Structure 1
Amino acid sequence: MSTGIHHVTGITRRVQANVDFYAGFLGLRLVKRTGGFEDAEQLHLFYGDALGSPGSLVTFLVWEDGAPGRVGHGQVAEIALAVPPESIGEWLTRAMTARIPVDGPSREFGETVLRLKDPDGVIVKLVGIDMPADAPLPDPIAPTRLRGVTLFSETPEQSCDFAARFGYRPGQVAGAVRRMVSDTDVIDIRDATGFFPGIPGTGILDHVAFRAADVDAVRQMRLALKDTDATNVHDRTYFLSLYVRDPAGILLEYATDRPGFVLDETPQELGSTLFVPPQAKARAQDLRVMMPQFALPGEERTPMRDLHFTHRSHRPENPDGSTIILLHGTGGNESDLMPLANRIAPNATLLGVRGRSTEEGINRWFRRFDAVTYDQADILAEAEAFAAFIDDAVRAYGLDPARLAFLGYSNGANLIGAILQLYPQAIRRAILLRGIQVLEDAPQQAEGALAGQKVLMLNGARDMFGRMAPALEAALRQGGADLDAQTLPAGHELSAEDLNRAQAWLV
């Protein structure tokens, strides 16, 4: 019977830094990259030994630039990876050389331990213990498999009893920590009474999965957990599993070893292709455009700069030197318009930007007092900031200003419209989808002040805000902009005709 840990899953806010740490510094192999099974727009990375063997896997959901969580009770708090005992000194040297936060070595339960922090602050313990890998990695001192995890529980005795369902038995006790032991690894359950509760977010370990012998074992476990909050059995393509929370609220998974990661890639090709869940196949190309890109160690990469607007880039396979900067609508994010922009210009590099103003937790470009009354001071401030961001982005990423276009929808189109009037030289070519005039005291444009601007406005005949579009059209025309304003048989929502007309205009 299979026992022990199948995988541990965390959440990261910076995919490139995550890859650099786990595949670069630690030397684990990226064995699979997929869209999330719960949210197909979410990138999910799997690291492990050379074949992604159960018991070696550390996985991460990517919440790029997402809000940080908080470690507390009711959570998985630490990962422990086994490394050859004689390698601890070299790992300490490597960590210090790479300027990775490290503590130790120390002794825990008779084992030598180094504590590292990954780029998100997740604690990764390297434990010097002889645990041979099922599929060894090229580096002779690379981690071989998962040694264990640490759980923070306010009900440690009940958590220990619950862990016994998955093949664990009581081991040693050291202070506030009780060790549970399987045939292959350990769970350290720490009494976290008095700790703050954990908060989900980036920099947090979401759950630990235990190994099930087969599908029947998962189904039997589901029956045994019928009086709990256990989920139905889920098909995750590479394994079948269920989820349940232990008495302390810690999220656990129970997963089969098979079919495994070589189901759709050869051993040599593991981790080289981005797969999407079966239910999202129709959106596969859109999802590949929306997900954050990264480079494996040794691959050419486009560095992401720390500019004053959160942003994400997408570089196509055959870039033509043009760039489209994308401004989302209310409640959107930096990736929302990437599928549309990719269809409009498949060979353009895309730079999606996130608005900095929030309203009841949703992203916007500037504050509003009601649906059609806008905070004028905030518009002026954000227009100035975004005009500066354009200059910074051009320098940081080596963009060609002559081949730069802007695409905005709704609230994003409104900010572009304001910038066109306030900073005429900042934006020379723009597509405004459902854009309106939001400036109450728009600057009077001298004749020819906006000459050189080329603008497409696509308005909706049934758009509830459409009555405010003519004022923007008039302001742009007054300044001499080359404006093409078209009205589509649509409301405020986007339609297929937006794609067709934008594509024809941009060409």
Structure 2
Amino acid sequence: MTSGIHHVTAITRKIQANVDFYAGFLGLRLVKRTAGFEDAGQLHLFYGDAAGSPGSLVTFLAWEDGSPGRVGVGQPSEIALAIRPEAIGFWLTRALTRNVPMTGPAQEFGEPVLRLKDPDGIIVKLVGEAGVAGPAPHAVPGIAPDDAVQRIRGVTILSGHPAETAGFIGRHFGFRPVAEADGIVRLAGEGGDVLDIRDAHGFWTAAPGTGTIDHVALRAPDRAAVDAAAARLAAEDAGGTNRHDRTYFYSLYVREPGGALLEYATDGPGMTVDEPLEALGRTLFVPGHFNADPEDIRARLPQFSLPGEERMTERDLPFIHRVHRPDDPDGTAVVLLHGTGGNETSLLPLGVRIAPRSLVLSPRGRSVEEGHPRFFRRLSATVFDQKDIVAEAEAFAAFMEGANAAYGIDPERTVFIGYSNGANMIAAVMFLHPGVVPNAVLLRGMNVLETVPAADLSGVNVLMLTGRSDPYGPYAADLEARLSAAGAAVENRLLPAGHDIGVADFEAARDFKRGVVG
């Protein structure tokens, strides 16, 4: 039975910091970027050696600004990468000069080990393995080929049932016990890859989230081996399994008795099935089973820059937000405010289509209702928390001041587009903080302020798009009247729609944007 590690998959909160660490600091090659196979709105990056070889791949699901998880029982806790033993000094110096958190070197199972922490707190061990030689080490400026990461050395799994975990992996995936020390049973595959099963009995259980390792994938020679493993697992009644064609490999998933998720993945067809070797990692792949427009998916995914590429650093501002940079900017900007049940990615496809050459800024509301972000709380369908509106409007005004400076946004060439709760927030900001919003498209908007302050909105342009059958539609006229009385140029256009957004909204917003800022 062929045995070894195919890849390791973890979860990151900030994709740019992740790229900077794995491609910039460690010198791994970005060999694939895809939309998630389970969730198209989730970016998935694959790092590896120069050829994207099985056994070198470390992959990350991007839960941008997602909640941290908890490392615990039933989960991998460390990734080990193999380097030549004599390269330990190079990496020690590199970590010290780059301010990368580090401990060691120390000896583990007779090998020198340097422990690092990536930006999410995941432990990455650099292990000096005697005689190691990866198939295609990726050397980059500042890292000589002899110092480069060669391949994956191993993974540590925390198990409350270490004997059962080790036996399960041995029976079904061909690893064998080779050593034991300090509460760890070391299993080895045919190629020398190791799985360290740490006895974590009594430790807290794992919780999914950013900064955790989701699963380790073990190597299968071909599809027949995966199907045979599925039959063995079923015969043993080992629990639920599922099989998937992941384009680059075919695999099954199963949980071992200690709870850790394992994948069994074929070596082929490999990373070059849809990109030539020299261009690996340059093109975003969108799985076809979503039947979605790739451009809409692309708009939702976080952007990043590889080392040496021009970049825009995201700033720490009062609202979690997403910035979408166009390839050919025209100096305009669009600010998107989502409705209830949405988030900072919800309106990005609409915004990018309305203004393909604009910088698009999309914040996430900070109030929460039944688990969903909003820009302010509501007490009933048409009664709203006035203190929350005032406080969040002030915070949003400060957010825009910081965003304008950080991202080079020209306020006079900016259009704010809000839907439902987001539209209502924009309207409230116009009255409470005149001057912040010069141009606005309000999709299904209404007035939410019980006391509307006097405001001079002269020179402000507003397009209201109201659904004829929208249950909140009758409230739009009051907002239109108040904006007009304050001096804004307002058009309230009635559309044959309900509370949902359609093609007519897109076309009207696009034409409005072109008319007021180009």
Alignment TM-score, normalising by the size of structure 2: 0.96
| Cα distance, 1:176 vs structure 2 | 1.0
The aligned counterpart of 1:267 is: 277
The amino acid of 2:501's aligned partner reads L
The aligned counterpart of 2:53 is: 53
- Answering whether residue 469 of structure 2 is matched by residue 465 of structure 1, we say no
The aligned counterpart of 1:454 is: 461
RMSD, aligned α-carbons: 1.0
* CA distance in 2: counterparts of 1:492 and 1:136, whole angstroms: 55
The aligned counterpart of 1:94 is: 94
Task: Count how many residue pairs are aligned between Structure 1 and Structure 2.
Answer: 504
SS at 1:225 equivalent: helix
- Answering whether residue 222 of structure 2 is matched by residue 221 of structure 1, we say no
* CA distance in 2: counterparts of 1:44 and 1:268, whole angstroms: 20
The 8 Å contact of residues 334 and 416 in structure 2, kept in 1 or not, is answered as: yes
Deviation larger for 184-193 or 277-286? 277-286
Cα deviation code 1:410-433 (max 9, x no counterpart) = 111110010111111110101111
Query: Which of 474, 481, 488 does residue 481 from structure 1 map onto?
Result: 488
The 8 Å contact of residues 444 and 499 in structure 2, kept in 1 or not, is answered as: yes
SS at 2:268 equivalent: coil
The aligned counterpart of 2:149 is: 143
* CA distance in 1: counterparts of 2:345 and 2:420, whole angstroms: 15
* CA distance in 1: counterparts of 2:243 and 2:466, whole angstroms: 47
The 8 Å contact of residues 244 and 253 in structure 1, kept in 2 or not, is answered as: yes
SS at 2:272 equivalent: helix
* CA distance in 2: counterparts of 1:266 and 1:285, whole angstroms: 22
Query: Which of 324, 334, 341 does residue 331 from structure 1 map onto?
Result: 341
SS at 1:282 equivalent: coil
The aligned counterpart of 2:379 is: 369
- Answering whether residue 208 of structure 2 is matched by residue 200 of structure 1, we say yes
* CA distance in 2: counterparts of 1:73 and 1:160, whole angstroms: 14
The aligned counterpart of 1:238 is: 248
SS at 1:54 equivalent: coil
The aligned counterpart of 1:342 is: 352
* CA distance in 2: counterparts of 1:381 and 1:198, whole angstroms: 37
The amino acid of 1:363's aligned partner reads P
* CA distance in 1: counterparts of 2:210 and 2:121, whole angstroms: 9
The aligned counterpart of 2:447 is: 437
The aligned counterpart of 2:364 is: 354
Query: Which of 196, 199, 217 does residue 209 from structure 1 map onto?
Result: 217
The amino acid of 2:206's aligned partner reads G
SS at 1:77 equivalent: strand
| Cα distance, 1:361 vs structure 2 | 1.6
The aligned counterpart of 2:199 is: 191
The 8 Å contact of residues 407 and 432 in structure 1, kept in 2 or not, is answered as: yes
| Cα distance, 1:467 vs structure 2 | 2.1
The 8 Å contact of residues 137 and 151 in structure 2, kept in 1 or not, is answered as: no
| Cα distance, 1:475 vs structure 2 | 0.9
Cα deviation code 1:424-479 (max 9, x no counterpart) = 1110101111111111111244xxx1111101110111111122212211110111
* CA distance in 1: counterparts of 2:271 and 2:240, whole angstroms: 25
- Answering whether residue 176 of structure 2 is matched by residue 169 of structure 1, we say yes
Query: Which of 504, 507, 515 does residue 497 from structure 1 map onto?
Result: 504
The amino acid of 1:197's aligned partner reads T
* CA distance in 2: counterparts of 1:92 and 1:194, whole angstroms: 34
SS at 1:257 equivalent: strand
The amino acid of 1:158's aligned partner reads E
| Structure 2 unaligned blocks of 5 or more | none
Deviation larger for 271-280 or 463-472? 463-472
| Cα distance, 1:280 vs structure 2 | 2.9
The 8 Å contact of residues 327 and 409 in structure 1, kept in 2 or not, is answered as: yes
Alignment TM-score, normalising by the size of structure 1: 0.98
The aligned counterpart of 1:4 is: 4
Taking only the aligned residue pairs, the percentage that are identical comes to 58
* CA distance in 1: counterparts of 2:259 and 2:372, whole angstroms: 28
The aligned counterpart of 2:399 is: 389
| Cα distance, 1:232 vs structure 2 | 2.9
Cα deviation code 1:332-380 (max 9, x no counterpart) = 1111111111111111111111111112221111111122211100000
- Answering whether residue 329 of structure 2 is matched by residue 319 of structure 1, we say yes
SS at 1:370 equivalent: coil
The 8 Å contact of residues 323 and 348 in structure 1, kept in 2 or not, is answered as: yes
* CA distance in 2: counterparts of 1:391 and 1:137, whole angstroms: 43
SS at 1:391 equivalent: helix
The 8 Å contact of residues 417 and 437 in structure 1, kept in 2 or not, is answered as: yes
Cα deviation code 1:211-239 (max 9, x no counterpart) = 01100001111111122333332010000
SS at 1:462 equivalent: coil
| Cα distance, 1:331 vs structure 2 | 1.6
The amino acid of 2:359's aligned partner reads T
The aligned counterpart of 1:133 is: 134
The 8 Å contact of residues 242 and 254 in structure 2, kept in 1 or not, is answered as: no
| Structure 1 unaligned blocks of 5 or more | none
The 8 Å contact of residues 212 and 255 in structure 1, kept in 2 or not, is answered as: yes
SS at 2:196 equivalent: strand
